[in-house]
Amino acid sequence: MRSWEELENACMNCYKCPLAQTRTNVVIGDGNRKSKIMFIGEGPGQQEDLQGKPFVGPAGQLLDKMLSSIGLDRSKVYIANIVKCRPPYNRDPEKTEQEACINFLRYQFLLIRPKILVCLGRIAAQAIISPDFRITKSRGIWYNRKNCDIIATYHPSALLRDESKMHPAHIDFQSIQQKYNELEQTNEQ
Ligand code: SF4
């Protein structure tokens, strides 16, 4: 797949895993396709499935607020998920479903070529950083793979469930802001 058109067609017509049977829409991604920073969640929820866009429910509204707190918004970032179709009842996507879908994310990565990847939550961090990644222990740490800086922080849904995670999440977002600003400054030189 070499173009967004090809990727979109492939996703829209994908029946590679059982999530195809229960989806309303395939949720491919949203935001700036030329962005240097990409946020990755686990999968669409109910509102995302209905609207065909990632992070548009309550967790998405919180993500927008957190982006705004560090001077970013959807015109400056790209947002996608590990799986493109909604797992029923918002359960975690199964490993087999993630494996069936992950190549679409890889193509998105190749089309966007971000310099910073932010994994939102355990599922994304385990798929992208390490299968045994523990979000409470290892969030906020920067990794570098193939010239891309990668960090994991809490998924906004987890922040809605447990307010005590908000403070560490803000610290992570400040670190993301710093990394993003450094990147912008390097680009300006
Ligand atoms: S989740 Fe991914 S692999 Fe499964 S049907 Fe949807 S697009 Fe295809």
- Domain residue spans in the chain? 4-188
Length of the chain as a residue count: 189
Which own/partner pairs from 86-93 qualify as long-range (CB within 8 Å, at least 24 positions apart)? 86/19, 86/22, 86/23, 86/24, 86/27, 86/43, 86/44, 86/45, 86/46, 86/48, 86/49, 87/19, 87/43, 88/22, 90/45, 90/46, 92/42, 92/123, 93/19, 93/42, 93/43, 93/123
Average pLDDT of 63-71?
98
Q: What is the pLDDT of residue 100?
A: 98
What's the gap in Å between 105 CA and the centre of ligand 1?
A: 11
Average per-residue pLDDT for the chain = 96
Q: Name the residue with the closest Cα to ligand 1, atom 2.
A: 101
**Ligand 1 atom nearest 83 alpha carbon:** 1
Average pLDDT of 72-76?
97
Q: What is the pLDDT of residue 12?
A: 97
Q: What is the pLDDT of residue 186?
A: 86
Average pLDDT of 15-41?
98
Q: Which residues approach ligand 1 with their CB closer than 6 A? A: 11, 14-17, 19-20, 26, 83-85, 97, 100-101
The correct CATH number of 4-188 out of 3.60.15.10, 3.40.640.10, 3.40.470.10, 3.60.110.10 is 3.40.470.10
Q: What is the pLDDT of residue 129?
A: 98
Q: What is the pLDDT of residues 139-185, one digit of tens each?
A: 999 999 989 999 999 999 999 999 999 999 999 999 999 999 999 88
What's the gap in Å between 169 CA and the centre of ligand 1?
A: 29
Q: Which of 41-50, 82-91, 105-114, 180-189 has the lowest mean pLDDT?
A: 180-189
What's the gap in Å between 78 CA and the centre of ligand 1?
A: 19
